Amino acid sequence: MRKPIIAGNWKMNKTVEESIALSNGIKRNLFNINNLEVVLCPPVTSLSDVKDVVLDTNIILGAQNMHWEKEGAFTGEVSAKMLKTLGCKYVIIGHSERRTYFGETNETVNKKVKSAITEGLFPIMCVGEKLEERESGKTFDVVSLHVEKGLLNVDKKEILNIVIAYEPVWAIGTGKNATAEQAEEVHKFIRNLLAKKYDREISESIRIQYGGSVKPDSIESLIKEKDIDGALVGGASLKEESFVDIVKKASRVVKEK
């Protein structure tokens, strides 16, 4: 069975002090959750301190981005190895904000995915359509391009280290989440793509999480769906109360799933 994963993507929020306070609050409330993975992705400046807070708990550390090169003259960038040695297990790759504001393409996403795996990190690869793409009936074309190109030359062994996050761009930060049915339709489509590209057994073991305005009142219906294996949470992960609520509600649903 796939172990669901709920990750908080803090984006460019929280100073070191604020990160320590938030992660401590989350730890106090979620130390005994073990039927799903809880991942915190603070800004890179807070990784080291949050690592110390979650040490010896089930809470896992993730980063929000990385460069694909091992090292070198890439001012301002961070390598997979740097993140790994800081205690990260996961790294978000190809978030729509990176694609939109920082020129990331399916090609750079693919390079990052490959490099992350080589260095022993688990990529959370983001895919998802924009509003105009959904409205013009291109959702499946866009998602399939993101998946195919992002996973170019990723073999059967490597794919098992990847989590896919379906994040429809129109749902990110808008307060308008995809309905459980809308999300499930795309998750199922992605799982079928993976079955074609790899095989059915592999596709059934890969986690596909949903992201886009996930809140305490939407998590239950989303995670009840067969192919939705958790959530990538933005805004609601910045407050202890809402993130804890999301994880606890998800955990209760998972027990019965």
Footprint on this chain of ligand 13P (rule: CB under 6 A): 9, 95, 167, 172-173, 211-214, 232-236
Smallest distance, ligand 13P to C-beta of residue 124, A: 9
User: Of 117 and 236, which has the nearer Cβ to ligand 13P?
Assistant: 236
Cα distance between residue 116 and residue 111, in whole Å? 9
User: Of 198 and 228, which has the nearer Cβ to ligand 13P?
Assistant: 228
Phi/psi of residue 40, nearest 5 degrees:
-110, 130
Cα distance between residue 14 and residue 37, in whole Å? 22
Active site residue 167: yes
**CB burial readout 183-202, b (16+ within 10 A) else e:** bbebbebbbebbeeebeeee
Cβ distance 129 to 138 under 8 Å? Answer: yes
Active site residue 146: no
Cα distance between residue 32 and residue 93, in whole Å? 28
- What's the token pair of residue 222? 């989303």
Q: In three state form, how does the secondary structure of 55-116 look? A: CCCCCEEEECCCECCCCCCCCCCCEHHHHHHCCCCEEEECCHHHHHHCCCCHHHHHHHHHHH
Smallest distance, ligand 13P to C-beta of residue 212, A: 5
β-bridge mates for residue 91, sequence order: 63, 123
Catalytic residue among 37, 67, 95, 97: 95
Please identify the residue of the shown chain whose CB is closest to the bound ligand 13P.
234
User: Of 211 and 230, which has the nearer Cβ to ligand 13P?
Assistant: 211
Q: Smallest Cα–Cα separation from 123: which of 165, 168, 70?
A: 165
Smallest distance, ligand 13P to C-beta of residue 172, A: 4
Smallest distance, ligand 13P to C-beta of residue 214, A: 5
Catalytic residue among 37, 97, 129, 167: 167
User: Of 164 and 198, which has the nearer Cβ to ligand 13P?
Assistant: 164
Smallest distance, ligand 13P to C-beta of residue 250, A: 14
**Catalytic residue positions, numbered:** 95, 167
